[in-house]
Amino acid sequence: MIKLQNVKKYFKNNKVLKGVDLEINKGELVVLIGPSGCGKTTTLKMLNKLIKPTSGKILINGEDIGKKDTIDLRRNIGYVIQQTGLFPHMTVGDNIGLIPFLKKWTEDKIKTRTFELLELVGMNPEEYIDRYPNELSGGQQQRIGVARAFATNPEIILMDEPFSALDPITRNQLQDELFNLQQKLKKTIVFVTHDMDEALKLGDRICIMKDGVILQYDTPEELLKNPAHGFVEEFIGKNRIWNQPEFIKAEDIVIENPVKTIGNRTILQATEIMQQRHVDSILIVDRDNKLDGIATLKDIRKNRDKKVTLNDIMEKDVVSVNKDDSIVDVLKVMNEKQVGYIPVVDNSQKLIGLITRSSLISVLSEQFLEEEEVAV
Ligand SMILES: Nc1ncnc2c1ncn2[C@@H]1O[C@H](COP(=O)(O)OP(=O)(O)OP(=O)(O)O)[C@@H](O)[C@H]1O
Ligand SMILES: [Mg+2]
């Protein structure tokens, strides 16, 4: 959809972008984040030709935008900036309807669309359409800015720190609204921010920039788990992943090689294995390593005949979690089902390992120990 190929931008001797390669897919929300002056706004402005690259190419839908008509290009790209860029002497309705008007839509069509957009951003059209920007709160102005960017239903929307001037509560609210809007409309959005929380919340992918280069371009989950660079780790905040526990998956904390065997073993053999490994339960799998059941020493001791096999006595209704379930899901299941351990399986029910209450505690406490060391 959008492709930057070795894009450089120099302002006289100031090398602001030093060869940026970036690809953004259709329907994706990509966040550009990085310290002040790293070139975020410059990158964004090049996408609608407010700034020309010194060298390199920018393609939109495979077309070199350098060769496209600027006005046409801009009318198909919505742009939201921090200070909303609303025209103060125009009403809310006229602000939103400006581009449709320039595109020569009929008055009726503009009015219908304006009403629709105001509703979309959670503002009562009857109440607000005739107000002027200075009669709105900061959050409301920002909503109008967003509505205006969506007015002509452009494929691409550029947003340069659209929420940064807002108080935290309003900002959160607008983030949620943008997120919901995006789930519905699936635009291609390039969103600039300073705020890592905002980036993690909104971005399908996040592009971390510094001094005119891209340090890492990845999904929020990958960034948190595998920061490719010391600066990235620092910028994200060490141990940030613990603020985002839904990104920690069962497979990240699983104990591999749990004590397991196949079902046609006798309970005598199973007891032997358990004693050797100092455990009081054993997982039972089939020849393909698919989880069949579980047996505890207590279950086994109820049987006098030691030739009985695990197949005869095992508990078949085992509570398990998928390797992709998050640590939050795992804790929930453990609490709901009142179990102290839980097998982890993959999508075809094959056993990957085990999570126990104590393995969870040790993962969690390692985390806190590490943090204390940092604090010292
Ligand atoms: N028109 C211009 N002429 C000269 N230098 C410029 C111009 N526009 C931007 N710059 C410089 O380019 C660098 C990158 O600016 P840019 O606005 O892209 O940064 P940014 O990442 O958006 O920063 P911020 O987070 O503060 O908005 C800065 O050093 C800035 O001073
Ligand atoms: Mg900027």
Residues in the chain: 376
91 and 151 housed in the same domain: yes
Q: Does any domain span residue 264?
A: yes
Domain end: 211, 226, 247, which one? 247
Mutate to test the pocket of ligand 1, among 15, 41, 195 (most ligand atoms within 8 A of CB): 41
Structure tokens at 54: 């010194």
In a domain, 374, yes or no: no
Within a domain: residue 367? no
Sequential DSSP letters for 251-298: HHHPBSS-SEEETTSBHHHHHHHHHHHT-SEEEEE-TT-BEEEEEEHH
* 218 shares its domain with 263: no
**At 294, which CATH number?**
3.10.580.10
Query: Do 241 and 284 share a domain, yes or no?
Result: no
Ligand at minimal distance from the CA of 39 is 1
267, 300 contact by CB (below 8 A): yes
Atom of ligand 1 at shortest range from CA of 212 = 14
The token duo for 272 is: 């032997």
134 domain residue, yes or no: yes
Q: Which one, of 297, 290, 360, lies nearest residue 318 by Cα?
A: 290
Nearest CA to ligand 1 atom 29: 37
Query: Which runs of consecutive H residues, i.e. helices, occur in 162-244?
Result: 168-185, 196-202, 220-225, 230-236
Q: Which domain holds residue 143?
A: 2-247
Pair (111, 260) in one structural domain: no
Atom of ligand 1 nearest to the CA of 12: 4
Pair (165, 278) in one structural domain: no
Ligand 1 pocket test: pick from 18, 36, 42 the residue with the most ligand atoms within 8 Å of its Cβ: 42
Q: Is the CB of 87 inside a 6 Å radius of any atom of ligand 1?
A: no
Amino acid code (one letter) for 88? P
Residues 167 and 184 in one domain: yes
What is the pLDDT, as a whole number, of residue 3?
Answer: 96
What type of residue is 288?
A: D
What's the 37 CA to ligand 1 centre distance in angstroms? 5
- Nearest 5°: the CA angle 73, 78, 80 is 135
Question: 108 exposed, middle or buried (CB, 10 Å; 0-12, 13-18, 19+)?
Answer: exposed
Strands 213-218 and 205-210: antiparallel
**Nearest listed ligand to the Cα of residue 10:** 1
CATH of the domain at 36: 3.40.50.300
In this prediction, residue 371 carries a pLDDT of 47
User: What radius of gyration do the chain's Cα atoms show?
Assistant: 28
Choose one of 247, 263, 297: the last residue of a domain.
247
To test the ligand 1 pocket, which listed residue (8, 9, 10, 14) has its Cβ within 8 A of the most ligand atoms?
14
Closest listed residue to residue 8, CA positions, set 66, 58, 56: 56
Residue 45 lies in a domain: yes
Question: What are the residues whose beta carbons fall under 8 Å from the beta carbon of 232, sequence distance 6 or more?
Answer: 208, 215, 216, 223
> Could you give the residue ranges of the DSSP H alpha helices within the chain?
40-47, 70-75, 92-102, 107-120, 125-128, 138-150, 168-185, 196-202, 220-225, 230-236, 250-253, 267-277, 297-301, 310-313, 327-337, 357-375
Distance of CA 257 to the CA centre of its chain: 32
Q: What are the 10-residue block averages of pLDDT along the chain, 376 residues in total?
A: 95 91 96 92 93 94 92 86 80 90 89 92 92 89 88 90 82 88 92 91 95 94 87 77 77 88 92 89 94 91 85 92 90 86 94 87 63 45
Q: Is 85 exposed, middle or buried (0-12, 13-18, 19+ CB in 10 A)?
A: middle
Ligand nearest to the CA of 51: 1
Same domain flag for 233 and 266: no
In this structure, are 188 and 308 located in the same domain? no
Residue nearest to atom 7 of ligand 1 (CA): 11
Q: Are residues 142 and 236 in the same domain?
A: yes
Ligand 2 centroid vs 94 CA: distance in angstroms? 27
**How many separate domains does the chain show?**
2
Give CA–CA dist 160/142, Å, rounded: 12
Residue 370 lies in a domain: no
Can you say how many angstroms the Cα of residue 11 is from the centroid of all Cα atoms in its chain?
34
Residue partners of 57: CB distance under 8 A and separation at least 6: 3, 4, 5, 6, 7, 64, 66
Q: Whose CA is nearest to atom 13 of ligand 1?
A: 37
The reply to whether 151 and 226 lie within a common domain is yes
- In what side-by-side order are the strands of the sheet with 341-345? 321-322, 341-345, 351-356
- C-alpha 184 – ligand 2 centre gap (Å): 28
Asked if 30 contacts 189 with a C-beta cutoff of 8 angstroms, the reply is yes
Residues 243 and 259 in one domain: no
Distance 82 CA to ligand 1 centre (A): 15
Q: 34 CA to middle of ligand 2, Å?
A: 10
Which atom of ligand 1 is the closest one to the Cα of 38? 21
Domain presence at residue 376: no
Q: Is residue 37 lining ligand 1, measured as CB closer than 6 Å?
A: yes
**Which residue has the CA at smallest separation from atom 19 of ligand 1?**
37
The verdict on the CB of residue 14 being under 6 Å from ligand 1 is yes
User: Does residue 38 have its Cβ closer than 6 Å to ligand 1?
Assistant: yes
Q: Is 42 in the pocket of ligand 1 (CB under 6 A)?
A: yes
* Ligand 1 centroid from CA 38, angstroms: 7
Residue nearest to ligand 1 atom 6, measured at CA: 11
Residues 130 and 207 placed together within one structural domain of the fold: yes
Cβ neighbour number for residue 290 with a 10 Å cutoff: 13
- For residue 102, being part of any structural domain is answered with yes
| Interstrand relation of 351-356 and 77-81 (parallel, antiparallel or unpaired) | unpaired
Q: From 203, 226, 247, give the residue that closes a domain.
A: 247
